[in-house]
A and B are shown apart, each in its own frame.
Chain A
Amino acid sequence: MIEDIQKFFIGLKASGINLTIFYDAFDFERFVSGLLTTCELVLICTLFSVLIGGFGAAVLTLSRGPAARIVQAYVALFRNTPLLVQMYFFFFAIGSLMPTARNGIGLPVPMIENFTWAVIALSLYAGAFNVETFRAGLGAVHNSYEEAALALGYSRRQAFRYVLVPLGLRFSFASLANNLVDLTKSTTVAYAIGVAELLYVSNQIWSDSLNTFEMMNVMLAIYLILTGIVVWLIARLQAAMRLPGFGAS
């Protein structure tokens, strides 16, 4: 079976389409590890960015004081500056202040490696967009719901926790799907600080095997599939959490 696939792609090479990843074990392994790293980045950053977004939106909704100001400044700063410069700022500038450890042969290695910096930068960047998304979702819940909850004896905090959040979350899905698609696409920027994700390994493969055009198309197809999966998962989640008679869908 595997040999048949390899044979097919070796035959394809003769006709000018050189997809080394399907018959060369070394390229295949590199490619799969890059794909896994990309998936890891997407999953971890999704988790953190949603947490940041939820926390930020809660602060903006519940408070008017300095805490809200800080969140607003964070959102404005991270949304209006380049992700790549943010990532360099974390990796090179902040990274230069971090302590280093020594590895087995006594060479200095940074305590926080590039993958971690990529997670930090991507989570903060996507988190800023999620704050806006969740805040808008909470804002879309009509005031009468909160008033009704308060009239029933809920405190403001309880009304937020048990009424506003469950309803607001349902208004946020479309915009959240958009943000997470953008996050998936943005993981390619981690290439710039040397994280061996899909773009990075693809670059290595086409440098070695001189099949730039083929690898680019494979990469494009993979990102389309990944963003498609993200959209599909959010749609599934949205359908599972649907309240009959509430909201647009």
Chain B
Amino acid sequence: MPVIDASIFAEVLRWLPFVLWGFALNILMSALAIVVGTAAGTLLGLGQISILPTVRGASRIATQLFRNAPWLVLLFYCIFLMPYTVTAFGQTYNVPSWLRATIGFSVPVAANLSEIVRGAIGSVPKGQWEAAEALGYGRMAILFRIILPQCVTRMLPPWMNLYALLITATPLASIVGVEEALARTQAAIQSQGSSDLLIPMYLGLLLMFFLYAYPIARISNAFERRFRPV
């Protein structure tokens, strides 16, 4: 086993800014994907409890389809099958691969969130619907003014867990050529050309993700205990 001496430590430190900039892209992709995924997933989740059978059926199928598909397969879908350029207002824009990967991550996030929304709405006692109806509230008013406000705290812990899952999924983008932290780590090791760096560099990368994701998991657990319905 190679001895980890000061010179290797210095090498790792030298590459740290380079990898950290890649990690910033991981954070950017995860932030965009959780925003898009949450918006789409909320709509999909509400669609699952719609009283219109077609909307309900379509939402259920979409949710199950994208929830049970591997993230990497959905990523490939978006990378290969999405247009490379978009024309808007008479100008043509290139869609960079990191953006297409971000959309690829949004799809499973939306499907998972859809189930979280459906579960949270289902966990509110049915009596509240009936009581509100007896008080003359319409279906939309019950949903948005009585049921959903109670769902927010119930959805927060699973939503944070989903985000932690998302950030640890973002290195998959390196497989389809996005230059994020993992791709940069590999590039650094390759340009250094010595196998002594392999273990410290990968350990550093693991530590980077751990320091970011572990606090989220802890806070999520704390919330879960705090908001546990009695």
Subset of 21 A-B contacts with CB under 8 Å:
A77-B206, A77-B210, A80-B217, A82-B168, A82-B170, A82-B171, A82-B209, A84-B175, A85-B182, A85-B205, A89-B206, A93-B199, A97-B199, A186-B70, A191-B72, A203-B76, A212-B80, A212-B81, A216-B77, A220-B69, A224-B69
Contacts of A97 in B (CB 8 A): 1, 199
Task: Indicate whether B21 reaches chain A with its CB closer than 8 angstroms.
Answer: no
**Bound CA–CA A213/B171 (angstroms):** 24
Cβ of B19 to closest chain A Cβ, rounded Å: 12
Task: Indicate whether B203 reaches chain A with its CB closer than 8 angstroms.
Answer: yes
Contacts of A89 in B (CB 8 A): 199, 202-203, 206
Asked if residues A199 and B182 are in contact (CB atoms below 8 Å), the reply is no
Give the 10 A-B CB pairs with smallest separation, nearest first: A185-B70, A80-B213, A93-B198, A89-B202, A188-B70, A82-B168, A188-B72, A93-B199, A227-B68, A82-B171
**Interface contact tally, CB-CB below 8 A:** 101
Task: Indicate whether A86 reaches chain B with its CB closer than 8 angstroms.
Answer: yes
Contacts of A203 in B (CB 8 A): 76
Asked if residues B206 and A188 are in contact (CB atoms below 8 Å), the reply is no
1/0 per residue B206-224: CB within 8 Å of A? 1001100110010000000
Task: Indicate whether A76 reaches chain B with its CB closer than 8 angstroms.
Answer: yes
Asked if residues B217 and A79 are in contact (CB atoms below 8 Å), the reply is yes
Contacts of B206 in A (CB 8 A): 77, 81-82, 85-86, 89
Contacts of B209 in A (CB 8 A): 80-82, 85
Contacts of B182 in A (CB 8 A): 82, 84-85, 88
- With contacts A213-B81, A216-B77, A224-B65 known, is A80 near B202, CB below 8 A? no
**Bound CA–CA A80/B208 (angstroms):** 10
1/0 per residue A172-191: CB within 8 Å of B? 00000000010001111101
1/0 per residue A217-230: CB within 8 Å of B? 00110011001100
Asked if residues B171 and A84 are in contact (CB atoms below 8 Å), the reply is yes
Contacts of B213 in A (CB 8 A): 80-81
Task: Indicate whether A62 reaches chain B with its CB closer than 8 angstroms.
Answer: no
- With contacts A80-B214, A81-B168, A213-B81 known, is A88 near B69, CB below 8 A? no
Contacts of B147 in A (CB 8 A): none
Q: List the B residue with the shortest CB-CB distance to A186.
A: B70
**For this complex, into which size category does the number of interface residues on chain A fall?**
35 or more
Q: List the A residue with the shortest CB-CB distance to B161.
A: A79
Task: Indicate whether A92 reaches chain B with its CB closer than 8 angstroms.
Answer: yes
1/0 per residue B187-206: CB within 8 Å of A? 00000000100110111011
**Bound CA–CA A76/B218 (angstroms):** 10
Please tell me which one of the listed residues A79, A93, A192, A223 contacts residue B73 in the complex, with CB atoms under 8 A apart: A223
**Assuming A81-B213, A97-B199, what are 18 further A-B pairs, CB within 8 angstroms?**
A80-B164, A80-B213, A80-B214, A81-B209, A83-B168, A84-B172, A85-B182, A86-B206, A92-B198, A185-B68, A188-B72, A191-B72, A191-B175, A213-B81, A216-B81, A220-B65, A223-B70, A228-B68
Please tell me which one of the listed residues A77, A93, A181, A189 contacts residue B68 in the complex, with CB atoms under 8 A apart: A181
Residue in A89, A213, A228 whose Cβ sees the most chain B Cβ within 10 Å? A89
Residue in B71, B182, B199, B202 whose Cβ sees the most chain A Cβ within 10 Å? B202
Contacts of A216 in B (CB 8 A): 73, 76-77, 80-81
Contacts of A220 in B (CB 8 A): 65, 69, 73, 77
Residue in A79, A94, A227 whose Cβ sees the most chain B Cβ within 10 Å? A79
- With contacts A77-B210, A80-B213 known, is A96 near B195, CB below 8 A? yes
1/0 per residue B41-73: CB within 8 Å of A? 000000000000000000000000100111111
Cβ of A8 to closest chain B Cβ, rounded Å: 25
Task: Indicate whether B169 reaches chain A with its CB closer than 8 angstroms.
Answer: yes
**Bound CA–CA A233/B164 (angstroms):** 29
1/0 per residue A137-167: CB within 8 Å of B? 0000000000000000000000000000000
Cβ of A13 to closest chain B Cβ, rounded Å: 19
Chain A contacts with B in 49-106, Cβ cutoff 8 A: 76-77, 79-86, 88-89, 92-94, 96-97
**Bound CA–CA A77/B69 (angstroms):** 25
- With contacts A82-B170, A83-B168, A216-B80 known, is A189 near B217, CB below 8 A? no
